[in-house]
Amino acid sequence: MATDLELLRAHEPIIRFTNGELFLPTSVEGYVAACSLWENRPNGSNEQIAAPSELDLDRLAEEGRRGGGRALSLRFVQAPLSRSEYRAWRKTPRPRLGRGGRFQTVGYVGRLIDGAFRATLLARGSVPGGHIASAETTYREQLRDGTFPYYGHVSRVGGYIVLQYWYFYAMNDWRSTFGGVNDHEADWEMACVFLSEGEDGDPVPEWVALSNHDFTGDDLRRRWDDPDLQREGMHPIGFAGAGSHSGAFIPGDYVTRVHLPVIDWFSGLTQRARTALRRRRGLPAPKNEGFGIPYVDYARGDGVSIGPGQDHEWTPVVIDDETPWVRDFRGLWGLDTGDPFGGERAPAGPRYERERVVRGSWADPVAWAGLQKVPPGPSEYRASLQDRISRIGDLLAEQDHELDKARTRLRAHFAARESLSARGPARAERRELSREIAHEESTVEELIAKRSALVEERRLHQVTLDDRLPETDPHAHLVRAHGPYQPRVHGRQRFLTIWAAISAPLLIASLILVLLNPVAGTVATFTGITLVFAAVEAWGRGRLLALVAVLVGGIFILVIGTIFVGLLIVEWRLAIIALLAAIALALLITNVRELVRH
């Protein structure tokens, strides 16, 4: 039987990074040696427990064991760079990401809310400015030694052999370097390969899952034969987001959305109204993902590639529940900013959440990837079908028993009614018996229908077992397909990129000027400025005609509505007549169209 290390090496993922990535997977030993350790007390004060020169993995585990309920955190950046050092860092030659304007994907509302969200960084805990430069310098000079470890955890859960590959990064610089949502010291990401036992007893890969900040459960995984899952031999390929290191199966730029509770509450009101209207028209409820501020995760795979046969090979390190630093240190692996949203706080280790409880992905990775319901491999699938067939046999026995009792009751009621009909009036009793007969007949028919459905289900399952297992769509389990964003390309792309960056600030500045010096009516001026900005944006997106059509339609509806309200006030009969005439005309047009079609 293969050892855990042999299993891990046999299916090592290949991780491809984006050009411009500053932080690649690194060792926890070097990182911890460069860190100081702090206790964050309930009163808000912080006390340094160990300086960088005093800390290693053994000391970290020891402090974790002694910690009890203490809130401990590492700190990677001890001091920011000086101005001259920062200027020199800025000039250091390095690959740069060529990225487009993420706001090309949304309109004004998203851009305005994003500005407010960015402003909250001033009030909530966030990674200080210049932090990335200092972290990258330390990482490059002290940690990047040419080795790229993963921390492999092998578990056997629910019939699966689960291979977890944990990657540790010194920094998440998504916000500062790539315009994303957040920055935080330290970053743990994970790829997971699920194996089943093959018919010859050897492990067979079935599924691959990648940790991702936008997806959970079924959406995290891809089947081994999924065409979206790129592989080189037995090694699946993942694409790491620039700065965020979030996993993707297909290279490209991904739009991820940050949802704010207050905005989602208002969005929920709109959703409920739309759902009610659509249901009244017999239509399904509209899909609702809430209103989120969009950010782009660049997972292009055009940079460094690490894995078997790539630019660099992995250095595997096997960990488990008894590895001291994994088991005993429940604190944060970087700066604890105290951010109430959590995005700017460092993560805990592979085994724990920030709340110092065991991660679901560590305790039960099968449930984490939504695989509890999925039999691991063909043999387990057949065994599950056989269990279902046996259960159907039990259900049929129960149905037969219920059917016999219902049929007995039905015949007793029928015999009683016939007896009363032959022997005397007893009309009330006969009516009651007739109602009972109708009820029991309905019960018998329902039981027979259920029994027939079970018999047919059992037959089909047996056909599957006797023939071959069905071939299913590899995407059938997905709730939301995880694919890259395809930007709309047109001749005004460069203009739209610049306009998307400056339009929201210009709009706010224009409204401020109007409030300071209202030359004309404030409402009219607001409306005019908004229309001008909307027209410029519509032209940039190639939707000017659509905007004109919407405005014309809106004006027409406004005029008609105003005339109707005026008529209703002056001469209500005439208003009602006009309304009925419009309804009659619309109904006539609809009916004539139906006649023409048929």
* pLDDT of the residue at 94: 81
The residues facing 254 across adjacent strands are: 297
* pLDDT of the residue at 437: 92
Answer with the one of 466, 481, 507 that is the final residue of a domain. Answer: 466
* pLDDT of the residue at 372: 94
162 and 250 co-located in one domain: yes
* Digit-coded pLDDT (tens) for 342-390: 678 999 999 999 999 999 999 999 999 999 999 998 889 899 999 999 9
pLDDT: which is higher, 197 or 261: 197
Q: Are 33 and 56 in contact (CB under 8 A)?
A: yes
- DSSP for 437-496? HHHHHHHHHHHHHHHHHHHHHHHHHHHHHHS-PPP--TTTT-SS------PPP-TTHHHH
Q: How many whole angstroms from its chain centre is CA 302?
A: 24
* pLDDT of the residue at 120: 54
* pLDDT of the residue at 14: 98
560 and 444 co-located in one domain: no
Q: For residue 354, tell me if it sits in a domain.
A: yes
252 and 391 co-located in one domain: no
* pLDDT of the residue at 498: 66
In three-state secondary structure terms, 163 is strand
From the list 38, 41, 34, 66, the residue with the least C-alpha distance to 50 is 38
Long-range contacts of 263-272 (CB under 8 A, 24+ apart): 263/113, 263/290, 263/291, 264/290, 264/291, 266/291, 267/291
414 and 519 co-located in one domain: no
Q: For residue 520, tell me if it sits in a domain.
A: yes
428 and 548 co-located in one domain: no
Q: For residue 473, tell me if it sits in a domain.
A: no
From the list 127, 130, 176, the residue with the least C-alpha distance to 342 is 127
275 and 157 co-located in one domain: yes
Q: Are 185 and 77 in contact (CB under 8 A)?
A: yes
Q: For residue 462, tell me if it sits in a domain.
A: yes
Q: For residue 475, tell me if it sits in a domain.
A: no
Pairwise CA distance, residues 46 & 70, whole Å: 11
Token pair for residue 388? 């279902």
Burial of residue 195 (number of CB atoms within 10 Å: 0-12, 13-18, 19+): buried
372 and 405 co-located in one domain: no
Answer with the one of 341, 376, 411 that is the final residue of a domain. Answer: 376
* pLDDT of the residue at 492: 62
Read off the pLDDT of each residue in 510-528 and give the average, rounded to a whole number. 66
Q: For residue 341, tell me if it sits in a domain.
A: yes
The residues facing 239 across adjacent strands are: 16, 248
395 and 444 co-located in one domain: yes
Place of tokens 């630019």: 311
Q: For residue 454, tell me if it sits in a domain.
A: yes
283 and 397 co-located in one domain: no
124 and 184 co-located in one domain: yes
In three-state secondary structure terms, 561 is helix
* Digit-coded pLDDT (tens) for 43-72: 778 899 999 989 999 999 999 998 767 899
Residue-range definition of the domain harbouring residue 400: 379-466
387 and 534 co-located in one domain: no
Token pair for residue 245? 């290191």
Answer with the one of 350, 376, 402 that is the final residue of a domain. Answer: 376
- DSSP for 325-364? HHHH--SBSS-----TTSTTSPPB-TTB-TTSSBPHHHH-
For the chain, the domain total comes to: 3
369 and 387 co-located in one domain: no
Q: For residue 480, tell me if it sits in a domain.
A: no
pLDDT band at 229 (very low <50, low <70, confident <90, very high): very high
* Digit-coded pLDDT (tens) for 387-442: 999 999 999 999 999 999 999 999 998 998 888 887 777 788 888 889 999 999 99
